[in-house]
Amino acid sequence: MYKTLFIIVLLLANAAYADNCDKPRDDFDGLYCLNKVYQESDNELNKAYKLLRTFLNKKEKKSLRKTQLEWINSRNNNCSIRKNGAFYVSLDCTTKSTVRRTNVILDRIRECKATGCQPSKL
């Protein structure tokens, strides 16, 4: 029982240390922290996207979806690379791209609320 308790305490201590993103102790902790920031930016993008869709008619939703898929392809092409049989993703690039896209969508939401949606900007 003490051995199991010791292992649980050790795992919790390591998880708590990994959450110290101000001073990650190694590259793996740094990657963990970058991924957490990316995940949050992706969650914010998804919420904004869903909110914008509530303002749009069927044709505008289709246009937004097309634009979103184009953005995803662009983000993937700009923020990742395949080399020597490996696949690399820049979480910094991905996060910055996601934040920029979220801001574009939030601008569209503000327009929809203020003056009506402008399909040409979707």
Q: How confident is the model at residue 23 (pLDDT cuts 50, 70, 90)?
A: confident
Share of residues in the chain with pLDDT > 70 (%): 84
Domain residue extents for the chain: 2-121
Smallest CA-to-CA distance from 64 within 119, 25, 15, 102 is with: 119
Residue 98: what residue type? Answer: T
Tens of pLDDT, residues 25-46: 898 888 899 999 999 999 999 9
Residue range 56-76, pLDDT digits in tens: 999 999 999 999 999 999 999
* Closest among 91, 77, 80 to 41, alpha carbons compared: 91
Which residues, in sequence order, are CB contacts of 16 under 8 Å at separation 6+?
Answer: none
Please state, rounded to an integer, the average pLDDT across all residues of the chain.
Answer: 87
pTM (two decimals): 0.80
